[in-house]
Amino acid sequence: MSVPHERKMGLRLRYDSHMHRLILSVHLSVALLGGVFILLLGLTGSVLVFEPELDRLFHPHLSYVKPRGNVLTLAEIGEGVSKQFSGEPIVAYLPSETADLSSQVILPRGIVCVNQYTGEILGMRTRGQSIFGWARDFHVRLASGDVGRIVMRWSGVAMLVSLASGLYLWWPGRRLGIGGGWRSVRFWFDVHNSVGILSLAPLLILAVTGTVIGFEDQASSFLGKLTGAGEASARQSVARRQTVPAAPATTSELISPQVITPDRAVAIARAQMPGAIPYRVQMPRYGGAYRVNLDLPGDRVAGGRNLIAIDQSSGTVIFSTRSSDLSSSERILATNEAIHTGEVFGMASRILAWLTCVIVPVQMMSGLVLWLRRKRHARS
């Protein structure tokens, strides 16, 4: 980098101190060494933020239904699926959470999408890697196992260093605004500075929360120690066992008292958690009991972490785990994850998370242009 060149460009920055030079070297080195991985984090993150919506966009015929009349029971839906797929056992039901989205039935070979109003089989999604699986694999572990995971978790740290050093370098001039033509150094310098400082807070939040996820084992152990020994008993209570008598059985269950229907299991689970929406019902053949997962709509942080297991014969609740039972450290980690994914405040925070992800390539590009220009100038 050439100091006189910067002065000639009228940028009047103070690069004279040793500290400034050192921090600039750190900023450049981190960007050059970790830039590609930070870029990957941003690009894949921007895909993952809207994964459910994009997935539905790619599979509209499997995802959407026209609401009409009554919704079929899970048993009726299951019967239709079993007929269509030659009696293949049903692993679980994923009831639709909104009126215009299809219900799904999990079979060993894949997931069948069903119109819950007509029973029409919309199609099957077979198991295997999709573009979203790849994006997740790259985001978390660079699609290359243990080494990739180490690289990506340290890329989060690199991003933190880059942001902190960027702030230090920006501070003396505190430039905000863009000047010069797009081919000038000044333009790219201003873009890098202005976009960087305006997006600093959300980028910092994504980098911190991402780094915590990358080092979750260590963070969990640290938080466990911080929140005290009392947490251990709280964690144990997550899987507290209880016996709750079921409400009287319906006529159809009296005919076949050995096994209650999945719909009955859902009714029992809903009675346990009023207001919660069941989003998954696992059959007793798979796991030994009906396992009903419920979502608490008001709780975006841990609302989906409710599970009620129901005995298939007696209808008694054999155990339950509830989001309210989470220990402080588990709740902190769940909140951290909800912030990182943008789920914490719903659509508004998801859009912000997406915009922040998209800014990463902009910063990488403007930084690269600056570095190349300076390198060329230094050579000449």
Partner 1 sequence: MNKLKRTLVIIVLFAAAMASEVSGTWSGTFKVRGGDHSTPQIIILKQDGKKLTGSAGPELGEQYPVENGQIDGDRVRFEVTSGEWRFSYDLKRLGPDEMKGNLELKSVDDKRTAVVSLSRTK
Minimum distance, C-beta of residue 352 to partner 1, in the bound complex (Å): 25
Cβ contact 288:313 at 8 Å: no
Does 146 engage in binding with partner 1 (CB under 8 A)? yes
Instruction: Reduce the DSSP state of residue 311 to 3 states and report it.
Output: coil
Q: DSSP state, 17?
A: S
Does 64 engage in binding with partner 1 (CB under 8 A)? no
128 or 245: CB nearest partner 1: 128
149 or 377: CB nearest partner 1: 149
Does 216 engage in binding with partner 1 (CB under 8 A)? yes
Q: What character string, x for contact with partner 1 (CB under 8 A) and - otherwise, covers 255-284?
A: -------------------------x-x--
5 or 280: CB nearest partner 1: 280
State CA 126 to chain mean position distance: 22
Q: For residue 257, count CB atoms less than 10 angstroms from its CB and return exposed for 0-12, middle for 13-18, buried for 19 or more.
A: exposed
Tokens 């002065």, residue located = 7
Does 285 engage in binding with partner 1 (CB under 8 A)? yes
Distances (CA, A) of 11 to 3, 129, 165, 170: 10, 49, 18, 12
Cβ contact 342:354 at 8 Å: yes
Which residues are registered as beta bridge partners of 321?
A: 307
Who's near 274: CB < 8 A, 6+ residues apart?
none
Does 127 engage in binding with partner 1 (CB under 8 A)? yes
- 276 φ, ψ (degrees, to nearest 5): -80, 150
Distance CA 355, CA 49 (A): 10
State the CB neighbour count (10 A cutoff) for residue 78: 22
Among 87, 217, 258, 379, binds partner 1 (CB under 8 A): 217
Tokens 């990739």, residue located = 148
Minimum distance, C-beta of residue 122 to partner 1, in the bound complex (Å): 14
133 or 257: CB nearest partner 1: 133
Does 129 engage in binding with partner 1 (CB under 8 A)? yes
Does 50 engage in binding with partner 1 (CB under 8 A)? no
Does 221 engage in binding with partner 1 (CB under 8 A)? no
Does 105 engage in binding with partner 1 (CB under 8 A)? no
Does 55 engage in binding with partner 1 (CB under 8 A)? yes
Distance CA 6, CA 296 (A): 56
Does 242 engage in binding with partner 1 (CB under 8 A)? no
Cβ contact 317:243 at 8 Å: yes
Q: Which residues of 260-292 are buried (b: 16+ CB within 10 A; e: fewer)?
A: bbbbbbbbbbbebbeebbbbbbbbbeeeebbbb
- Picking from 365, 350, 299, 279, the residue whose alpha carbon sits closest to that of residue 48 is 350
Minimum distance, C-beta of residue 357 to partner 1, in the bound complex (Å): 19
Minimum distance, C-beta of residue 191 to partner 1, in the bound complex (Å): 35
76 or 216: CB nearest partner 1: 216
Among 84, 130, 194, 335, binds partner 1 (CB under 8 A): 130
Does 86 engage in binding with partner 1 (CB under 8 A)? no
* 302-361 residues near partner 1, rule: CB under 8 A: none
Does 133 engage in binding with partner 1 (CB under 8 A)? yes
* 310 sits in which H/E element: strand 306-310
144 or 252: CB nearest partner 1: 144
111 or 249: CB nearest partner 1: 111
> Footprint of partner 1 on this chain (CB under 8 A)?
55, 91-92, 106, 108, 110-111, 125-130, 132-133, 136-137, 140-141, 144-146, 148-149, 216-217, 280, 282, 285-288
